[in-house]
């Protein structure tokens, strides 16, 4: 187990943590770094901390899983009990490990990172007249830090431009392509991401913006916190998530907005794969259906609309594991003889009442 003294002695920053994962994905990590990442993935889980989402964790997860399979981990009898990568990442031990690494700076994973780590693969960087431009011409995502300590994960074929000194009342970024931002909180200096189609404003949170050149659409998806989005044309640059523009959209976790240049319309909806925001127990034995729906609402931060009178007195026995939200809903609706539909960022449950069925 990791001791507090050992963690303090071996402390590295969160930026170095993300850069280590970047080196691993790019195949530039040293044998010791690679071994430690893979050992962490399979073994580290002693520190029971609250989970923190990581940018591009699915890409990291996939790369680690592939290497583990190539190394033979999970072969033989154990392969039948090991869940697939996406489910494995969400298991409690892995969430505790991710939180331990993100908050404590890798700890025992990388005891020599501050001394022996190889320099990370950099994006193309140019500076001109007080502006910095970063362009990712590689085939891998690139992680770097902005002057205000915000983290950016820049996707292939994307570029970012910002004032080198990052001074002034606002932190302005100009994006072409796709990037994930984990913004340092500063309510006094809003963080604005400009694309050709939309302007996204935050005070400090994590979110993804996608707006490639030549595309008629732009999208913004929120991982945590609140995000205000407007069409760029005639945008109110004084608007914030606390005081959004009348013509804009306010997004919460697991929500996204898609802007169409053709219709000039901002369409608010749920992300394709909502993540658990507040872990809940998903084992129900003859419990009211409304209790199950309430647990799903709380876990995913999603508003559900249904006829309480029709579901009154309905009970169900059902257990959810690592299924995505929409699969959970499908299983529940099947047990009720009901169905659901998506409307903006809400889920509407349609039911004619109880049936004498249960799902296990």
CA distances from 106 to 16, 21, 32, 136 (A): 9, 11, 14, 26
- pLDDT per position as a tens digit, 32-76: 777 777 666 555 443 333 334 444 444 555 455 455 445 544 433
The CB-side HSE value for 264 (13 A sphere, CA atoms) comes to 5
Residue 2 has pLDDT above 50, yes or no: no
Instruction: Give pLDDT, residue 97.
Output: 46
pLDDT band at 30 (very low <50, low <70, confident <90, very high): confident
Nearest to 62 by CA among 91, 93, 88, 94: 88
CB-CB neighbours of 216 under 10 Å: 10
Q: In whole numbers, what is the pLDDT of the chain averaged over residues?
A: 76
Looking at domain 124-270, its CATH architecture is Sandwich (2.60)
Nearest to 241 by CA among 190, 184, 188: 190
d(CA 117, CA 238): 42
Nearest to 2 by CA among 99, 117, 114: 99
> Domain boundaries in the chain?
4-116, 124-270, 283-350
d(CA 335, CA 67): 39
Q: Provide mean pLDDT across the span 5-15.
A: 36
d(CA 147, CA 101): 23
Residue 302 has pLDDT above 50, yes or no: yes
Q: What is the CATH number that goes with domain 283-350?
A: 3.55.50.30
Q: What does the angle CA 89 – CA 143 – CA 52 come to, to the nearest 5 degrees?
A: 35
H helix runs in 12-161, sequence order: 14-26, 31-43, 57-70, 85-89, 92-104, 113-116
Residue 120 has pLDDT above 50, yes or no: no
CB-CB neighbours of 168 under 10 Å: 9
Instruction: Give pLDDT, residue 284.
Output: 95
Q: Could you tell me the two tokens for 134?
A: 């970063």
CA distances from 199 to 155, 176, 181, 338 (A): 19, 12, 14, 39
Instruction: Give pLDDT, residue 110.
Output: 36
Residue 31 has pLDDT above 90, yes or no: no
d(CA 31, CA 10): 19
H helix runs in 195-282, sequence order: none
Dihedral, 299, 301, 303, 306 alpha carbons, nearest 10: 0
CB-CB neighbours of 88 under 10 Å: 19
d(CA 140, CA 29): 14
Nearest to 1 by CA among 49, 47, 39: 47
d(CA 285, CA 70): 41
């Amino acid at each position: 187990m990791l001791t507090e003294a050992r963690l303090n002695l071996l402390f590295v920053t969160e930026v170095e943590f993300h850069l280590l994962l970047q080196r691993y994905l790019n195949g530039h990590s040293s044998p010791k770094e690679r071994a430690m990442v893979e050992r962490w993935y399979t073994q580290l889980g002693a520190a029971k901390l609250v989970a923190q989402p990581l940018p591009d964790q699915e890409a990291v997860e996939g790369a680690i899983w592939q290497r583990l399979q190539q190394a033979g981990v999970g072969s033989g009898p154990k392969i039948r009990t090991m869940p697939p990568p996406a489910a494995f990442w969400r298991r409690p031990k892995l969430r505790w490990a991710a939180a331990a690494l993100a908050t404590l700076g890798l700890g025992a994973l990388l005891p020599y990172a501050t001394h022996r780590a190889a320099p990370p693969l950099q994006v193309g960087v140019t500076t001109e007249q007080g502006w910095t431009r970063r362009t990712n011409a590689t085939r891998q995502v690139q992680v770097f830090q902005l002057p205000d300590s915000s983290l950016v994960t820049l996707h292939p074929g994307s570029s970012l431009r910002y004032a080198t000194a990052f001074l002034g009342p606002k932190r302005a970024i100009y994006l072409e392509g796709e990037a994930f931002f984990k913004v340092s909180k500063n309510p006094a200096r809003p963080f604005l991401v400009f694309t050709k189609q939309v302007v996204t404003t935050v005070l400090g949170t994590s979110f993804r913006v996608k707006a490639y050149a030549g595309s008629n659409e732009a999208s913004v998806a929120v991982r945590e916190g609140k995000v205000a989005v407007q069409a760029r044309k005639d945008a109110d640059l004084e608007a914030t998530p606390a005081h959004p523009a009348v013509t804009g959209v306010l997004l919460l976790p697991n929500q996204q907005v898609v802007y169409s240049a053709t219709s000039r319309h901002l369409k608010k909806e749920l992300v394709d794969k909502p993540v658990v925001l507040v872990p809940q127990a998903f084992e129900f034995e003859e419990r009211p259906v409304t209790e199950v729906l309430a647990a799903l609402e709380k876990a995913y931060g999603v508003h559900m609309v249904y006829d309480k009178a029709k579901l009154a007195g309905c009970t169900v026995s059902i257990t959810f594991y690592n299924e995505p939200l929409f699969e959970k809903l499908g299983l529940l609706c099947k047990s009720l003889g009901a169905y659901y539909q998506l409307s903006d960022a809400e889920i509407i449950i349609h039911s004619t009442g109880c049936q004498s069925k249960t799902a296990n």
